Structure 1
Amino acid sequence: MITRPLPASCTVLGYRKDGRPIYPVLGASSDDGSNDEAAVSISQKQLNALLSREKDQGGRAAVRALADKLGFANATELADYVNGQRQAEQEQLTETQRREQELVAREKAVIAREAATLVRERDAARRAVLAGVGASGQDLEDAAVLLRVDDDADDATVRQAVQDLKARRPELFTVPPTGTALPPAAPGGAPASVPPPRPGTAASKPGAAGAEMARRRGLLPAA
C-alpha cells in the first residue's frame, strides 16, 4: 500500500464559488502538528461567563470549607448565625443610643431648672432693692417690669438703675424721704387722731353699752 503524502497546509487546492481559497484539511495526518493545538473560537462574552461561573463555584467551595471549619452543617446555618449576630449588635447599639438620649434629656432638664432658679433669685434680689427704696404692692411689680438692666449686671449697676427709675417714676416709690417728721403722738401715747382714754375709766366689757340701754328702757331689771 502506497501512502500518498498530503500537500503542505499552505497549498491552495482550489477556490470556492465566492472566491475563497481551499486549503488541505488540518489534522488529517497523524504527523500534522495542528493535532496538538486545537484552535477554539470563543467570544469575549462567553469567556466572561465562563470566568464568572468558575469564580462562583470557587466562592461556594470556599464558603462550604469555612462552614465546615467553624462547625456549621452548611453555608445556610453560617449565614443565619452571622445575620443573628449583626441583629444583636444593632439592637445593642439602639439601646445604647436610647440611654444616651435619656441622659442628654436629663442633663438638659437639670440645666433648665438651674437656670430658672437663677432667674428667680435674680428677680428676688432686684425686687428687694426696689422695695428698699419705697416700692411696694402693685408699684413694686410695675417697677420690676420697668427696671432697665442687663441680666448679668452686677449689684452696683442694679442699684444705679433703681435710682434712675426712681428719678423717672417717683410715684412708684411711696416711702417718706429720710428726715421727714411723723405726726406728733397724742397724750398717753395714742395716735393724734384717737383721743386718749380718760384717767380712772375702766375698759367696758363687750355688750355693756347695749345692756345699759335695755335697763333704762325697762327691758332688763336694774342691777
Structure 2
Amino acid sequence: MEVLTITDFLNYFTNNSEQIFDYTLEHIQLVGLAIIISILIGVPLGIYLTTNDELASTVLQITSIIMTIPSIALFGIMIPILSIIGQGIGFLPALIALILYSQLPIIRNTYTGIKDVDPNIRDAAQGIGMTTVQRLWKVEIPNAMPLIMAGVRTATILNIGIGAIAAYIGAGGLGSLINQGISRSNNTMVLVGAIVVSILAIIADLVLKYIQKKFTPKGG
C-alpha cells in the first residue's frame, strides 16, 4: 500500500498547481451558475407557495423525492433525454442536476422563512400603508433572510460535493482529478482532489455566511 506524506502533497501541488487551478475554476463555474439559477427559481417559488399551502406540500414532496435520487442515477436518466439535443454528457446535464438538487433547501427555507415572519410585523407594515409588494421587499424578505441564506448555503455545499461526481459525465471540475487518480491508482491525486473540494466548500460557506450577516437586519 502506498504511504502518503505531506511531502507528496506539497510536491504534487507544486508540480500541478496550474491544472488544479483550472479544475477549481471549472468547479466554481458549474456550481456558481447552478446556484444562481436555483436562487432565481427557488426563492420566487418559495415566496409564491406561502399563498397556497396545498401546492406547497406537493412541491416540497417532489423536491424531497428528487433529493433521494443518487446523483449517478440522475445523470444516467438525463443522458438519453439530453442526447436528443446532442447534450447527453458534459456541462448541461450536470448543471440541470445541480439545479434540481438545490431546489429543496432553497424553496423550503424560503417558504418557512416567509411563513414564520411575526404577524404583528405584517400588521404594522400594513397599518402604515405598505402595499403587498412593499411589505414583501421591505419587511418579509429581510426578516426571512437568515433562513433563506441558510438554504442557499446548504445547497451550495451540497452542490460542491455532487459537482465532483459530475466529472464522470464529462462536466470537468475537481472531480476530474479524483476520477483520474482512481483510474491510475494514484492515491495522491485522489486525496488532493478531495482536499481541494473540501477547502472550496469551507470557503464558500464562509463567504455566504458573511453575505448572510451583511444583509440580515440588526437584531434579526
* TM-score of the superposed pair, with normalisation by structure 1: 0.20
- Pick the structure with greater CA Rg: 1
Whose relative contact order is higher, 1 or 2, with alpha carbons under 8 Å and at least 6 apart? Answer: 2
